[in-house]
Amino acid sequence: PEKEHRPDAPVLRKPDWIRVKAPGSPVYRETTGIVREHGLVTVCEEAGCPNIGECWSKKHATFMIMGDTCTRACAFCNVRTGLPGPLDADEPAKVADATAKLGLEHVVITSVDRDDLADGGAAHFAETIRAIRGASKATIEILTPDFLRKDGAIEVVVAAKPDVFNHNLETVPSKYLKVRPGARYFASLRLLQQVKELHPTMFTKSGIMVGLGEERNEVLQLMDDLRSAE
């Protein structure tokens, strides 16, 4: 009754970009086949990315090494949490072969957190980088965990000389307890600073999410903190 004398609200047409096409192109199927053939894990699948059809149809993929189970439980992440299995010693070679078969010019390698390993998986990262170097001319970007309380881990990864060293801060300090409870803001910031100290010309990058309740001034302070870590 309360709506009787109100005009109906117009139904606006949704923009084309909001609709994601279901994957199914020949190139997508080829990429899927290569990933399956090598038994690899990708962020594209584990994180439930809606853009997988577009990316895989262009032979773009982000490989996630060291398994599909993370030792942490960040609130924003879709990857399963639990006790991971042992490392696959052949995984670096498999990633390198898949990179070559896909003809990638740039490859991104990330991982789950492996707090169960003495070095947090640093040596596995280094082995993967070296394997790709031997099989492909692709530039290599790594997106690493924070290696919290793993002495010497950063040095091992930097020594393998990736082209880009990425580590995400994810959010502002005030949101860490809720969003990223297993991590420490200043430890992540210090990691990026250490990379520059070890290899001043190495390209470093980071990323954050917005819309989690952070204030504008907090984002600006985070950006200042990142600049100071360069």
User: Which token pair is 146?
Assistant: 């924070």
Amino acid found at 144? T
Q: CA of 228: how far to CAs of 2, 154, 166, 190, 222, in Å?
A: 58, 19, 16, 10, 10
pLDDT band at 18 (very low <50, low <70, confident <90, very high): confident
**Residue 42, pLDDT above cutoff 80:** yes
**Residue 1, pLDDT above cutoff 60:** no
Burial 4-32 (b: 16+ CB within 10 A, else e): eeeeeeeeeeeeeeeeeeebeeeebeebb
Sign of the C-alpha dihedral computed for residues 97, 98, 100 and 105 taken in this order: negative
**Could you report the per-residue pLDDT of 106-133, keeping only the tens digit for each?**
999 999 999 999 999 999 999 999 999 9
Share of the chain above pLDDT 90, in %: 75
H or E element that contains 56 = helix 52-57
Q: CA of 189: how far to CAs of 125, 148, 173, 207, in Å?
A: 20, 12, 11, 12
Global pTM exceeds 0.85: yes
SS3 32: helix
Residues 6+ apart with CB under 8 A from 152: 119, 122
SS3 105: coil
Contact 146, 183 (CB under 8 A): yes
